Amino acid sequence: MRFLLAGQPNSGKSTIFNAIAGYRAATANFPGSSVSYTLSRALIHGREVDVVDLPGMYSLSSVSPEAGEAVRYVAEEDWDLIINVVDASRLERSLELTLQLLQLERPMVVALNMMDEAERHGMKIDVEALAKSLGVPVVPTVGRRGQGLKGLFRTALQAAHGGSAAGTGCFDKEVQTAVAQVQDLLEDAGFECRLPTKLVATKVLELDPYFTEKVRQSAPQVENDIDSIVERLQETHGWSADQVVSGCRHAMAHTIWDEIGELGRPKVGWRERVDRLLLHPWTGGPLMVLILSAVFYTVFGVGQLLEAPLVGWFDGIQAVLEGRFPPETLVGALLSGIFLGVAGGLTIVLPYLLPFLIALSVLEDSGYLPRMAYILDNLMHRIGLHGKSVLPLILGYGCTVPAIMATRILESKRDRRITAALASFIPCSARTIVVYGLVAAYLGPLWALGIYLLNLLVIMVIGRVLSRFLKGRSPGLILEIPNLALPTANTMFAKTWLSLKEFLVIAWPVLVVSSIVLGFLEYFGAGAFLNAALTPLTVWTLGLPAAVGMTLIFGVLRKELTLVMLVQAMGTNRLDQVLTTEQLVVFTLFVVFYVPCAATIAAMARELGWKDTAWISGLTVVVALALSVAARFVFAVV
């Protein structure tokens, strides 16, 4: 048995999914945080059920990439019941998607989520009347607190076993007539589809690309007749056909709300007062700087506290290990590689990665990130890239891969290319570890802050240049600002663990294996050969020791590797004793800006193609070299 979770962005859909399936979907108090579906198997009241978390969508339309993925799944995959997760505090707007899902004529349950927010907004909802109007069960829930979820899935199992189909709603007379005419044409032409013909007819009237293409492939002979019906409908109403259909749906949602809802006086609390300050033209910017500075110094402070005792402890172990198994021997090289890989993850990466992931989770779940996007919109507009492009860039501070994937939400290919290029320069969590572990740890937090400010300046300049070369206009920002919320401890730590697990399961083994490989290369003398081959880059251009050459190669696999490999290549974790201030800064600048990691390159190739991936990767190398050489010049002058 398979259940689908469908709902508009920020309706709490993924929160409900994680509550019953374990924490597997990345949730955020942030619209458009996912563009693909997540599948998990859960035990619900003693029954194994596959649960699919579909991308958030405002409409069952394939026009947008996220909704297109949902439409494809609904139309082509097997499933038994759909759970429509609805934001109760925005019920009238949310019902428009509900009415479309009803046309699937499949078992369905409505989860009336965020009931606490609806009450705070002064809303009273007659749940029984709503269920009667829709013709499907409606269960009130508060997903982030787990309230009502047992009842929701108990009702879902009953509805799935009962096999009762949902109702289909209705339109006005002209639309009903047009839908019936298209439906007759499709049935007479022998059109076959897993979805109800009435739904297909409605979507064809809306000129939906997915369904229009299906009809063109299976029943091309009816295209002209359908075009005539669409033209008559448009002439009758004076609007485009899709506006007519969606207008009817909007009117129906409004009618249902009038029958079952009552809007009282909202409660003005701390959220509203804080929001006025966060979004105010005069206070929003300074508060953003203050908040991000607090995050920066908190991560640095916690990282320093965790790193110092761990480094001292592992230094003692390393001295004992090298005394018994000298690195000059084969066994010693193997054990040294294993030890340095494990120690590097524990002493260098984790002390800064863990507090950074927790801080990022707090910013996401509190709802501050979309507010930050709103504040930055004007700045992005000045570099010729505004609107929804802000969202993938903000995601890039966590990981560049989902940032690249999130460019799917952009309608313009130009914007997708520019945004993907800029996202490649955003310091993800792995690059952040390098900045904290090298510059902040050895030179101080102000140096690290300077690199972040330089990174922002470079991104602005590159964005401005690319927007001039790649002609076109970007749409303005239309962004849903979710309610401010206090992050729950369970969700925050579960999300942190989900990201941390990726490092433990994927990155850390790569660290250890790479450390072993580096040890063997040095033992057999191949390391010296590779480092010598890279001397024109490392020594002549960057002014770094020749031994760092291989660290830059390994850094293409994972950016964290550059820091761990640097410790191994230099033979000590007291890097400030073997590298000058200039070398620490130059190495960090090059690592932060040069070629993205292998996972990012693969994601970019999938989203944009290898041609765009090649020039973006080349651009990162050119920028990294230019900044590094410029830094050497500045140090020489100063």
With respect to residue 261, please indicate whether it lies within any of the assigned structural domains.
no
Is residue 310 a part of any domain in this protein?
Answer: yes
Residue 245 domain-assigned (yes or no): no
The reply to whether 327 and 469 lie within a common domain is: yes
Give how many domains the chain has, as a whole number: 2
pLDDT per residue as tens digits for the range 235-284 = 888 889 889 999 999 999 999 999 999 988 888 788 889 999 998 989 99
Please check whether residues 416 and 557 belong to one and the same domain: yes
Domain boundary among the residues 162, 193, 223 is at 162
Q: Do both 292 and 144 map to the same domain?
A: no
pLDDT surpassing 90 at residue 457? yes
Closest to 429 measured CA to CA, from 512, 363, 520, 352: 352
Query: Which among 227, 223, 171, 225 has a CA at the least distance from the CA of 199?
Result: 171
Average pLDDT (99-120) is 93
Q: Let me know if residue 263 belongs to a domain.
A: no
Confidence band, pLDDT 50/70/90 cuts, at residue 165: low
In a domain, 244, yes or no: no
Is the pLDDT higher at 613 or at 372?
613
Q: What is the pLDDT of residue 201?
A: 93
417 and 561, same domain (yes or no) = yes
Does pLDDT of 226 surpass 60? yes
Structure-token pair, residue 371:
């507010």
Q: Are 19 and 145 in contact (CB under 8 A)?
A: no
* 217 lies in some domain: no
Residue 127 has pLDDT above 70, yes or no: yes
> Residue 347 sits in which domain range?
284-637
CATH number, domain of 18, equals 3.40.50.300
pLDDT at residue number 161: 84
CA dihedral 407→410→413→416, nearest 10 degrees, is: -30
Contact (Cβ atoms closer than 8 angstroms) between residue 606 and residue 563: no
Q: At what angle do helices 270-279 and 284-324 cross, to 10 degrees?
A: 90
Mean pLDDT of the chain: 87
Give the model confidence (pLDDT) of 293-302 as tens digits. Answer: 999 999 999 9
Of the chain, the end-to-end C-alpha distance in Å amounts to: 69
- What is the mean pLDDT of the segment spanning 320-333? 88
Residues 295 and 157 in one domain: no
Q: What are phi and psi of 84, to 5 degrees?
A: -90, 110
CA distance 341 to 557: 15
Phi, psi for 35 (deg, rounded to 5) = -130, 15
Q: At residue 424, does pLDDT exceed 70?
A: yes
pLDDT at 452 over 90: yes
Based on the domain organization, do 372 and 505 belong to the same domain?
A: yes
What pLDDT score was predicted for residue 124?
94
Tracing tokens 């009415």 back to the chain, one arrives at 99
Query: What average pLDDT does range 71-82 have in this prediction?
Result: 89
The answer on 157 and 296 residing in a single domain is no
| Stronger pLDDT, 290 or 512, i.e. the higher one | 290
Q: What whole-number distance in Å separates Cα of residue 408 and Cα of residue 406?
A: 5
pLDDT tens-digit readout, 354-367: 999 899 889 888 88
pLDDT value, residue 30: 45
Helix axes 284-324, 445-469, angle to 10 degrees: 120
Residue 182 counted as domain residue: no
- pLDDT tens digits, residue range 168-209? 556 778 888 999 999 999 999 988 888 899 999 999 999 888
CA–CA distance, 163 with 598 (Å, rounded to integer)? 47
Tokens representing 120 are 């705070």
Q: What's the confidence (pLDDT) of residue 28?
A: 45
Q: Is residue 140 part of a domain?
A: yes
- Considering just the CA atoms, what is the radius of gyration of the chain in Å? 28
Among candidate residues 162, 188, 220, the one where a domain is terminated: 162
Of the residues 162, 186, 218, the one at which a domain ends: 162
Rounded average pLDDT over 294-318: 89
